[in-house]
Copies of this chain bind each other. A is one copy, B any other.
Amino acid sequence: MSPKMTTELLKQLRHVMKNPRYVQEPVQAYIVPSGDAHQSEYIAPCDCRRAFISGFDGSAGTAIVTEQHAAMWTDGRYFLQAAQQMDTNWTLMKMGLKDTPTQEDWLVSVLPEGSKVGVDPFIIPADQWKRMSKALRSAGHDLVPVKENLIDTIWTDCPQRPCKPLITLDLSYTGVSWRDKIVALRSKMAERKVLWFVVTALDEVAWLFNLRGSDVEYNPVFFAYAVIGMNTIRLFIDGERMMDPAVREHLQLDSTLEPEFKIQVLPYGSILSELQAVGASLSPKEKVWLSDKASYALTEAIPKAYRYLTPYTPICTAKAVKNTSETEGMRRAHIKDAVALCELFNWLEKEVPKGTVTEIMAADKAEEFRSQQKDFVELSFATISSTGPNGAIIHYKPVPETNRTLSVNEIYLLDSGAQYKDGTTDVTRTMHFGTPSAYEKECFTYVLKGHIAVSAAIFPNGTKGHLLDSFARSALWDCGLDYLHGTGHGVGSFLNVHEGPCGISYKTFADEPLEAGMIVSDEPGYYEDGSFGIRIENVVLVIPAETKYNFKNRGSLTFEPLTLVPIQTKMIDVSLLTQKECNWVNSYHQRCREVIGAELERQGRHEALRWLLRETEPLVRVQ
């Protein structure tokens, strides 16, 4: 991977930072955040402005360019990747390390007195604006909104904003109609005494209307906003897709409806002016509910006294707790996904020794097997197919320049998933197709112990996921090993593979308590820079647990793995497992045999079935 040459681009950007055509006054720094106008984690090509200016295309990162400097903040998953993709114009700011300055502190340390710092008000979330603006102001600088995005002004071949057809989901997938979701939302609004709710996150719009799209790769969402009143529904969306009879029927656009369920369709670009009109029409005590992560531009459209901001919206919270139709769909999706992976690993086991399989080929083959499954839509994220040292790049995606050949001498890490119409998958397995070293097995086994510690954890109802994070690290910590990422994230139901408000991470304290029906990933890892990467990831469902004393009727929770793909026993140093851990592996594999075995049989995939049976032989622990 060679770095992007950015000298010329930075020169152009610094030029427009002073150009009165774009800025009222010259800005001495310009911030290029990761997101789009919906604060999405995964974004469309036309929104990859940070990648365009810097070359670094990981999913998280903020660039700041001043007259003298260019700096990039990103987290532990991307330290190696960012260092490789950026040229020497850029300073990498490793977030989470003790000596790394915050963006605000850094700006204060490099800016001349009384500077202006520009940012696109549609891209920066309101909470970030507030924090940064305050810090800059107290140091004598100003954060200013720059209406026209300065990257767009120099990005001559910027792709068009996508506008793809929509998929309608019926009740068998969603369990709840969009009308009932609107009713539930309005009741939450009434509880909090708000009159309006603004839906800004793309997955929240999709979930609310039981629609899916493909405007953003991997995330089945579409560019839209919605504004829900107590008697009105406004959907801001562009394109011919609203002429699709199936969509019109689904949204009952042409039916005679009670007025409070009549959807008014408006152009995507009119959200700001419509919201400003709403803001101007409010009487005292009337409130508008927005996520505190909504863009500064939309938040400012509502006068401060009328805003009701929360870190998580009622849609975010409702969406996280899956109903029976959704969990059943997720189960089906994970069975199909496991079938595809059994096929893949069986194929790899035969092909890798020949020395002809590259990381890209393996990823393509995984997609091929997945696409054979019913209701397959697309992948749920860019497949991380990595062998040897590439495995240590936590969010690695193979490209021709880095594409290694799989071999019997190196660990292979595959983190992949798919979107099926009935659910979203995300699974990581770490395999060795030859003989792993004792050290590799040792590290793998610690990671496995951490994975089991979370998966088998029992905890009281209402526990926040971040309290479980250290369970995943304990075995690694005992030997002086650790990993620089969280342990789990929420997973959508045929929606974004990363979703809030729950998760398992030492990094957040603002996660919502876990409750039955939530779905998260459990994915501890270990990474040895320059050598290998190990990660074991299942998607798990929060379920009620049986405990002896049941927390004085507060209720007990635990996890049920939805992912049912064998964990390579060859990589396990059984002597490091306790009997309980050993039993966990064996009963997990027994379940893989029963559920996935039956499906492989049904699909007539006999060779993969034999592979599954071989890979799920019980472990025996010698006392």
Nearest-neighbour CB distance to chain B for A179, whole angstroms, equals 29
Decide: A471 near B469, CB < 8 A? Known: A479-B549, A480-B548, A551-B481: no
Q: Which of B469, B471, B478, B549 contacts A481 (CB 8 A)?
A: B549
- Alpha-carbon gap, A542 to B156, bound state (A): 57
1/0 per residue, CB under 8 A from B, across A467-498: the answer is 11111011001111110000000000000000
Asked if A509 is at the interface of the complex by the 8 Å CB criterion, the answer is yes
Decide: A467 near B548, CB < 8 A? Known: A462-B98, A474-B457, A477-B458: no
Give every chain B residue within 8 A of A214 (Cβ-Cβ).
Answer: none
Asked if A305 is at the interface of the complex by the 8 Å CB criterion, the answer is yes
Q: By the criterion CB–CB under 8 Å, are A479 and B98 in contact?
A: no
- Alpha-carbon gap, A481 to B459, bound state (A): 9
Give every chain B residue within 8 A of A481 (Cβ-Cβ).
Answer: 549, 551
Instruction: List residues of A (546-584) whose CB comes within 8 Å of B's CBs.
Output: 547-551, 554, 556, 578
Nearest-neighbour CB distance to chain B for A621, whole angstroms, equals 14
Query: How many residues of A are in contact with the other chain, CB < 8 A?
Result: 34
Nearest-neighbour CB distance to chain B for A464, whole angstroms, equals 8
Q: By the criterion CB–CB under 8 Å, are B460 and A478 in contact?
A: no
Asked if A138 is at the interface of the complex by the 8 Å CB criterion, the answer is yes
Give every chain B residue within 8 A of A611 (Cβ-Cβ).
Answer: none
Nearest-neighbour CB distance to chain B for A505, whole angstroms, equals 11
- Alpha-carbon gap, A111 to B285, bound state (A): 15
Q: By the criterion CB–CB under 8 Å, are A480 and B138 in contact?
A: no
Nearest-neighbour CB distance to chain B for A547, whole angstroms, equals 3
Q: Which of B285, B460, B509 contacts A509 (CB 8 A)?
A: B509
Q: Which of B140, B469, B477, B550 contacts A457 (CB 8 A)?
A: B477
Q: By the criterion CB–CB under 8 Å, are B547 and A480 in contact?
A: yes
Asked if A347 is at the interface of the complex by the 8 Å CB criterion, the answer is no
Give every chain B residue within 8 A of A469 (Cβ-Cβ).
Answer: 467
- Alpha-carbon gap, A57 to B367, bound state (A): 66
Q: By the criterion CB–CB under 8 Å, are B458 and A305 in contact?
A: no
**Closest B residue to A442 using CB positions:** B548
Nearest-neighbour CB distance to chain B for A306, whole angstroms, equals 10
- Alpha-carbon gap, A140 to B460, bound state (A): 38
- Alpha-carbon gap, A474 to B478, bound state (A): 17
Nearest-neighbour CB distance to chain B for A203, whole angstroms, equals 26
Give every chain B residue within 8 A of A467 (Cβ-Cβ).
Answer: 469-470, 506
Nearest-neighbour CB distance to chain B for A582, whole angstroms, equals 14
Give every chain B residue within 8 A of A470 (Cβ-Cβ).
Answer: 459, 467-468, 470-471
Q: By the criterion CB–CB under 8 Å, are A547 and B478 in contact?
A: yes
Q: By the criterion CB–CB under 8 Å, are A138 and B548 in contact?
A: no
Q: By the criterion CB–CB under 8 Å, are A480 and B506 in contact?
A: no
Give every chain B residue within 8 A of A549 (Cβ-Cβ).
Answer: 479-481
Give every chain B residue within 8 A of A513 (Cβ-Cβ).
Answer: 98
Decide: A305 near B471, CB < 8 A? Known: A480-B547, A480-B551, A549-B480: no
1/0 per residue, CB under 8 A from B, across A494-522: the answer is 00000000000010010001000000000
Instruction: List residues of A (134-165) whose CB comes within 8 Å of B's CBs.
Output: 138, 140
Nearest-neighbour CB distance to chain B for A308, whole angstroms, equals 9
Q: By the criterion CB–CB under 8 Å, are B458 and A478 in contact?
A: yes
Q: By the criterion CB–CB under 8 Å, are B509 and A480 in contact?
A: no
Give every chain B residue within 8 A of A468 (Cβ-Cβ).
Answer: 470
Give every chain B residue within 8 A of A479 (Cβ-Cβ).
Answer: 547-549
- Name, among A285, A478, A513, A578, the residue most crowded by chain B CB atoms within 10 Å (CB to CB): A478
Nearest-neighbour CB distance to chain B for A454, whole angstroms, equals 11
Instruction: List residues of A (516-555) whose CB comes within 8 Å of B's CBs.
Output: 547-551, 554
Q: By the criterion CB–CB under 8 Å, are B480 and A458 in contact?
A: yes
Q: Which of B462, B480, B509 contacts A550 (CB 8 A)?
A: B480
Nearest-neighbour CB distance to chain B for A15, whole angstroms, equals 32
- Alpha-carbon gap, A506 to B463, bound state (A): 10
1/0 per residue, CB under 8 A from B, across A284-320: the answer is 0100000000000000000001000000000000000
Give every chain B residue within 8 A of A471 (Cβ-Cβ).
Answer: 470, 474
Give every chain B residue within 8 A of A285 (Cβ-Cβ).
Answer: 140
1/0 per residue, CB under 8 A from B, across A100-143: the answer is 00000000000000000000000000000000000000101000
Q: Which of B305, B457, B506 contacts A138 (CB 8 A)?
A: B305
Nearest-neighbour CB distance to chain B for A572, whole angstroms, equals 18
Nearest-neighbour CB distance to chain B for A599, whole angstroms, equals 33
Q: By the criterion CB–CB under 8 Å, are A477 and B460 in contact?
A: yes
1/0 per residue, CB under 8 A from B, across A322-359: the answer is 00000000000000000000000000000000000000
Instruction: List residues of A (416-466) whose CB comes within 8 Å of B's CBs.
Output: 457-460, 462
Give every chain B residue within 8 A of A138 (Cβ-Cβ).
Answer: 305
- Alpha-carbon gap, A473 to B470, bound state (A): 12
Give every chain B residue within 8 A of A509 (Cβ-Cβ).
Answer: 509
A-side residues, CB < 8 A to B, are 98, 138, 140, 285, 305, 457-460, 462, 467-471, 473-474, 477-482, 506, 509, 513, 547-551, 554, 556, 578
Contacts A140-B285, A458-B478, A481-B551 given; 16 further ones with Cβ under 8 A?
A457-B477, A459-B477, A467-B506, A468-B470, A471-B474, A477-B547, A478-B547, A479-B547, A479-B548, A479-B549, A480-B550, A480-B551, A481-B549, A482-B551, A509-B509, A578-B578
Q: Give 15 A-B contacts (CB < 8 Å), ordered by A residue.
A: A98-B462, A458-B480, A459-B470, A460-B477, A460-B482, A470-B471, A471-B474, A477-B556, A478-B547, A480-B547, A480-B548, A480-B550, A481-B549, A481-B551, A482-B551
